[in-house]
Structure 1
Amino acid sequence: MGISEIFEFFHKLDSELYLYINDFGIYIYLLLFLIVFGKTGFVILTFLPGDSLVFASGAIAAVGELNVFILFILFFVATSSADSNNFLIGRTFAKISSHNNHLTKIIPASTIDKAKEFLLNYDKVAITFSRFIPLMRTMTPFIAGFTGYSYSNFVRFNVLGALLWTLVWLGTGFALGNIPWVEENLLFTLALITIMMFIPAAYGFVSRFHKKESAVASNSEV
């Protein structure tokens, strides 16, 4: 299997998941775990399916092809442990960069300071809800580890976020899975649900950012 075929496999996996259940058998659970873990566990694997894959798994579980309880435990453990792994990668990267001038030039001190300020102001919200926003779900754990954020605090909000994320996507897929139209138009449903979830999450971050900027502007005027 070539690289293009591998990308094509992952690109269509969420919408054609039901086709692979018979091929993989019980190992489909292992495949799902590895994909969800890999998406946020490693910075470079953001192209893997995440939200849509969990939703599709829930929809398929609703018709009895997968076990929803196994899926819940699997996805919760996968996404929470993945973010912790990403956090540790960020911390390791920070230690390496402190002894390597070339890496320090790649990530300027001003960028690190801004990242620290971001986590200081939005730490609970960012860590808990960043997994609902593309790119943020991968970068937030890495930045937290890179900037020396408290791991104990990170774990608490990370576990909460993993629980909410799993409940929302798996639960929504399971609730809608028995509706014939959803089953017949799974790809369209995945796109629609993704957009609906992205808008409120993005709005929350933007509104909090504007409030912070307004507060800073008011203080500067005084």
Structure 2
Amino acid sequence: MEDFHWTKLFNPEFYITMEVGGIPIGIYMVLFIVFAETGLFAGFFLPGDSLLFLSGIYSRELVQTFFYIPSDFSNVTVLSLLIASAATLGNMFGYWFGARSGQFLYKKEDSFFFKKKYLLQSQDFFQRHGGKAIIYARFLPIVRTFVPIIAGIVHMKKTKFMFYNVLSSLMWSFFLVFAGHYLYGIFLNEFDIDLKKHIEKIILILIGVTTFPLVMKAIKAKRETTNPEI
């Protein structure tokens, strides 16, 4: 057995290819992580976007855990729907938690699994974008962890929340899973490049793309703080 190292916890391929007693459990890990990003408030270190992209590359292996589907399109569609369902449930749990006891997070001390600054940033994001923040947040690490909680705290209308919740989950899962699957095919067939052999580069690129808006926002906020208008 290959030696385990804690750094693998940040590698989405580790979860996708995970086995227990020779039985593949990657699909269960993918769905759990997607749920946990919003349902268990641990999104700041879980590999959300890169996990979905790589799931598209491994779509056949993941779906075959449940049943065999010969059609590539059907495989990717089923996987996208499963992930969208997990994402929807995660947001629902986050909303419920926010409505019931989310206020205590503003008094909670920082820890490895919780940073109050992320909550405050997400609150500001929600206030500026309203219901659409739920859609935008799906594509932003960290922010997507807290936005549904804030929606619950401010008692956003449930029907409105569910509309944006389902829509954002479908958009997020279908876009990233389909992109991973079909880009893998294009690179393999057209350029003879197996993206499975370049997982580390893919992860770095996706992290860069998804965190760039947050970095720019932080830089802008710092400039406004150090150079306030007179």
Q: Same fold (TM over 0.5)?
A: yes
The correspondence for 2:138, drawn from 131, 139, 152, is: 131
- State the match for 1:65 in structure 2: 61
Q: Deviations over 1:65-102 (max 9, x none)?
A: 3332331121000111101111111111147x5xxxxx
Unaligned runs of 5+ in 1: 98-102, 214-222
Instruction: Tell me the TM-score normalised to structure 1 length.
Output: 0.70
- Whether 1:160 aligns to 2:173 is no
Aligned partners of 2:87 and 2:10: how far apart in 1? 19
CA RMSD of aligned residues (A): 3.6
- State the match for 1:144 in structure 2: 151
For residue 185 of structure 1, give the secondary structure of its aligned residue in structure 2.
Answer: helix
- Whether 1:174 aligns to 2:181 is yes
Aligned partners of 2:61 and 2:166: how far apart in 1? 28
- State the match for 2:9 in structure 1: 10
Q: 1:191 to 1:24 in 2, by over 3 A?
A: farther
- How far 1:40 moved relative to its partner? 1.4
Unaligned runs of 5+ in 2: 64-75, 110-116, 225-230
CA contact (8 A) 1:17 1:56 kept: no
- State the match for 1:24 in structure 2: 23
- How far 1:142 moved relative to its partner? 0.9
- How far 1:48 moved relative to its partner? 2.2
- How far 1:31 moved relative to its partner? 2.2
- How far 1:162 moved relative to its partner? 0.8
- Whether 1:194 aligns to 2:207 is yes
The correspondence for 1:35, drawn from 33, 36, 48, is: 33
Aligned length: 193
CA contact (8 A) 2:38 2:94 kept: yes
Q: Deviations over 1:94-152 (max 9, x none)?
A: 47x5xxxxx77669xxx999987754541133111102112101111111111222222
Q: 1:24 to 1:55 in 2, by over 3 A?
A: farther
- Whether 1:91 aligns to 2:95 is no
Aligned partners of 2:79 and 2:9: how far apart in 1? 19
* Seq. identity, %: 24
Q: Which moved more, 1:121-130 or 1:136-145?
A: 121-130
Q: Which moved more, 1:71-80 or 1:145-154?
A: 145-154
Aligned pairs for 1:104-115 (under 5 A) are none
CA contact (8 A) 1:131 1:161 kept: yes
Q: 1:20 to 1:152 in 2, by over 3 A?
A: same
Instruction: Tell me the TM-score normalised to structure 2 length.
Output: 0.68
Q: 1:191 to 1:105 in 2, by over 3 A?
A: closer
Q: 1:198 to 1:175 in 2, by over 3 A?
A: farther
Aligned partners of 1:165 and 1:151: how far apart in 2? 21
- State the match for 1:220 in structure 2: none
- How far 1:35 moved relative to its partner? 1.6
Aligned partners of 2:201 and 2:121: how far apart in 1? 38
Q: 1:28 to 1:19 in 2, by over 3 A?
A: closer
- Whether 1:80 aligns to 2:79 is no
For residue 41 of structure 2, give the secondary structure of its aligned residue in structure 1.
Answer: coil
CA contact (8 A) 1:33 1:78 kept: yes
For residue 206 of structure 2, give the secondary structure of its aligned residue in structure 1.
Answer: helix
Q: Which amino acid aligns with 1:138?
A: T
